[in-house]
Structure 1
Amino acid sequence: MRICLYGSGSREIDKIYTNAGYELGCLIAQKSHTLVFGGGNNGMMGACARGVQDNNGKLIGIAPEWIKDYEQLCKNCSEFIYVKSMDERKNKFLEESDAFIIAPGGIGTLDEFFEIITLKKLERHNKEIIIFNIDGFYNKMFDMLDDMTQKGFLSNQYDLIKIADTADKIFEYLE
């Protein structure tokens, strides 16, 4: 299975997140899956990629070539696909992946998450979307989504996603 990870590329995040990301990467490789990701060498992306690498797994990085001006790219990918834009990158993630994990991240991660869940809602795909809610990172977002549902702006988003607080729980959903 090709598993896409959306998550932070920041060097500033707490070790609780990168440790969980590394553990996720280890499991991806040990279970013979492939990590599809934004190609970043730092943050959640980098930690997960290192877990995959340290367990002889396969990595597919996808990024616009100009992104290297903003973040360090992973040099040890099995394959690296360069695209022209962030939109093309998101389309390639959808094309190359069988499931999506949303790890803690910033604006870019939220953009990717909301696009992939919208596409699922609009029946453009039927792939698993799992939010990796490390240390309750996304609890406030869930509160906002619940409020939007109660006010009639959303239907039940929990029909479209699963929530896991450990890497093991993610694989209970995927396997």
Structure 2
Amino acid sequence: MPSTLNAVAVFCGSRFGKNPLYKQAAQSVGQTLAGAGIRLVYGGGAHGLMGVVADATLAAGGTVTGVIPDFLESREKMHEGVAELIVTESMHSRKQIMFSRADAFWILPGGFGTFDEMMEILTWKQLGRHSKPIVLINVAGWANTLLAALDDAVEQGFASASARAMLQAVPDIETALSCSLKAEETGRVAVEQL
């Protein structure tokens, strides 16, 4: 049976960050998704890592859907080169559309907005709203302290180990793709067995 991993939502920064490896990883994500025939769904901006991942996907012949709230147009400059650009009225509707359009979620380096998107999609999975793979690509250890905080929430009794396991941290893009395909396949088999 063919894969149903048709689209991956990538959460990442509207800035580049200090380490040049972050930009390289964003380029690799775009190239990897395009090469696998997987649509990129992302925040719709033209700047920072968001712009890099969209540009790399497009340059490699891939398809891109951008989703951006109208009030961010002046701050993040909408990417006008994407195949589909959806302008929403709020951050919440942006996340809802990205969620509905994606079969998996990848987290690249980013700031508070990236953390917000990651935590919301992780919480939705914990609450049983979806079973889609969530993969954090820990480029150059950028998320070590974030992952430690999640582990500490389990240690302190505020989260279960099973909930923590819903977010998979991997070192590179190839592993992210492999994990997403495997998780998608496992989830589909489980559904088919019902």
Global fold match (TM > 0.5): yes
Q: Is contact 2:16–2:23 with CA below 8 Å preserved after alignment?
A: no
One-letter identity of the residue aligned with 1:15: P
TM-score, normalization: structure 2? 0.87
Equivalent residue, structure 2, for 1:171: 177
Q: Is contact 2:122–2:166 with CA below 8 Å preserved after alignment?
A: yes
Rounded to whole Å, the distance in 2 between the matches of 1:11 and 1:162 is 23
Equivalent residue, structure 1, for 2:74: 69
Q: Which moved more, 1:111-120 or 1:158-167?
A: 158-167
Total equivalences in the alignment: 175
2:15 counterpart of 1:10 = yes
State the shift of 1:159 in Å: 2.2
RMSD of aligned alpha carbons: 1.1
| Secondary structure of residue in 2 paired with 1:56 | coil
- Of 98, 102, 107, which residue of structure 2 is paired with 1:102? 107
Larger C-alpha radius of gyration, 1 or 2?
2
Q: Is contact 1:39–1:63 with CA below 8 Å preserved after alignment?
A: yes
- Of 16, 30, 38, which residue of structure 2 is paired with 1:33? 38
Task: State the percentage of identical aligned residues.
Answer: 30
Rounded to whole Å, the distance in 2 between the matches of 1:93 and 1:158 is 22
- Could you give the per-residue CA deviations for residues 69-97 of structure 1, whole angstroms, max 9, x where no partner exists? 11122111110111100011011111111
Structure 1 alignment gaps of length 5 or more: none
Rounded to whole Å, the distance in 2 between the matches of 1:50 and 1:34 is 13
- Of 119, 126, 137, which residue of structure 1 is paired with 2:131? 126
- Deviation beyond 2 Å, 4+ runs, structure 1: 11-14
Q: How does 1:131-142 map to 2 (within 5 A)?
A: 131-142=136-147
Q: Is contact 1:5–1:37 with CA below 8 Å preserved after alignment?
A: yes
Equivalent residue, structure 1, for 2:188: none
Q: Is contact 1:65–1:84 with CA below 8 Å preserved after alignment?
A: yes
Structure 2 alignment gaps of length 5 or more: 1-5, 182-194
Rounded to whole Å, the distance in 2 between the matches of 1:28 and 1:89 is 21
| Secondary structure of residue in 1 paired with 2:45 | coil
Rounded to whole Å, the distance in 1 between the matches of 2:47 and 2:91 is 18
State the shift of 1:144 in Å: 1.2
State the shift of 1:46 in Å: 1.1
| Secondary structure of residue in 2 paired with 1:80 | strand
